[in-house]
Amino acid sequence: MDQQSCSLSARGYDHEGRLQMAEGRLGRHGDGGTAIEDLFLVHHYDQPVPSDDHHIEVVGPNGRSRSFSLEDLRSFEQREEVVLLECAGNGRGLRSRRTPGNQFGLGMFGQSRWTGVSLADVLEACGFTDGWTTAAIQAPDGGVTMPEGAEATFGKGLPRAKALEPDTLIAWAVDGRPLPVEHGGPIRLVVPGWYGIWWVKWVSRIQLSHDEFRGFWQNERYTYQDETGRVLGVVAEQSPRAIITSPTEGDRLHDDAVLNGLAWAGEHEVRDVETSVDDGLTWTPARITARTGGWGWLRWEAQLPAGLQRGMCRVAVRATDAIGRSQPWDSAPDRLGYGNNGVHRITVDLLAGSSPKT
Ligand SMILES: Nc1nc2c(c(=O)[nH]1)N[C@H]1C(S)=C(S)[C@@H](COP(=O)(O)O)O[C@H]1N2
Ligand SMILES: [Mo]
């Protein structure tokens, strides 16, 4: 990746000096989505070296297997979906109680147009429709993860229902261009509505079975845990989230300023976006100005209420989805800090009078 022209903030490099973790910027999300150069990055190991002859092996419940090249995959009906990708660590650094791991702000999401084939179509073509409950999706990257000292390779056990959803894709292009290696090229999984951990990059093998999938990235990391380390569940569907993209922390505003932002809610539609200027005592509906549709974000805007006092003012926003999930003021403690969707709030400095008309 050309590190000069991108807007990412580096959070770590791999042993070869390549960007390994990087956060995007809130100001860089465009109307249609996030340019791929501005999309955050998470590799848990060194980035694998791509091969010109990449294949995926699909192993059925009966042990029979078939191998697909990129060319083979292109012969299936092509699908294109606008999907928002978000790391479960998004917002971790905003928790009031510090947790281990990178102290990410809200730069760990982005929206892109993904092109590929339905995983379901490939499995059907193999004749592997029945006789399994889990698709074990394997990638070639691996190593030792600290602080656990755990040796593993990257893999996830995708439950049958999600694996067979038509919008779950094996993708080879993003925004009409071949998938860059740092985002999983030549092929990665796209799992709409579920956190990025499921979007396995550099997929090399898919194995279908009745066995319960066990692995470091399924049962240890990316699980919700109480503070004693008891596992409460596997990180999967995204939680509702609304974000203020402008103004930003510390901005000086006139009281007729407009607030703008984005919101999404995993597999569900966002029903309401509301803002508050009294630390969540009362909430006022924001206007939803554009919905991407499908698996993308919506855009909202709101005006500050009239008659606010000059000086520092805390502005908060929350989303509620169609099944009634709403954002808490502070999200429940989690040992590893995943899924922090506590309401986004910023403090702005209100100036006297209206904005100058130019
Ligand atoms: N093979 C592999 N796939 C992976 C990962 C990884 O470390 N290895 N990281 C996952 C995590 S945690 C996230 S949030 C997304 C990030 O995708 P991106 O780097 O394209 O933004 O990829 C996922 N897929
Ligand atoms: Mo992630």
pLDDT tens, position by position, 271-303: 999 999 999 999 999 999 999 988 999 999 999
CA atoms within 13 A on the CB side of 304: 28
pLDDT at 358: 64
Among 145-149, 298-302, 315-319, the least confident range: 145-149
Backbone φ and ψ for 256, nearest 5 degrees, come out as -100, 10
Q: What is the dihedral of CA 29, 34, 36, 40, to 10 degrees?
A: 60
Cα 37 to middle of ligand 1, angstroms: 15
C-beta of residue 242 within 8 angstroms of C-beta of residue 262? yes
Mean pLDDT, residues 229-249: 97
Lookup: tokens for 103:
């102290």
Closest CA to 182 of 31, 38, 26: 38
pLDDT at 257: 93
Residue 216, ligand 1, Cβ within 6 A: no
Report the residue among 36, 201, 203 best suited for mutation to probe ligand 1: largest number of ligand atoms under 8 A from its CB: 201
How far apart, in Å, are the Cα atoms of 115 and each of 45, 78, 106? 25, 7, 26
pLDDT at 3: 47
Q: What's the rounded Cα separation, in Å, for the pair 88 and 46? A: 20
Which helix (H) or strand (E) segment holds residue 63: the answer is: none
Residue 87, ligand 1, Cβ within 6 A: yes
Residue 40, ligand 1, Cβ within 6 A: yes
Cα 62 to middle of ligand 2, angstroms: 32
pLDDT per residue as tens digits for the range 42-82: 999 999 998 889 999 999 999 999 999 999 999 999 999 99
Instruction: Give the other-Cβ count within 10 Å of 79's Cβ.
Output: 18
pLDDT at 355: 79
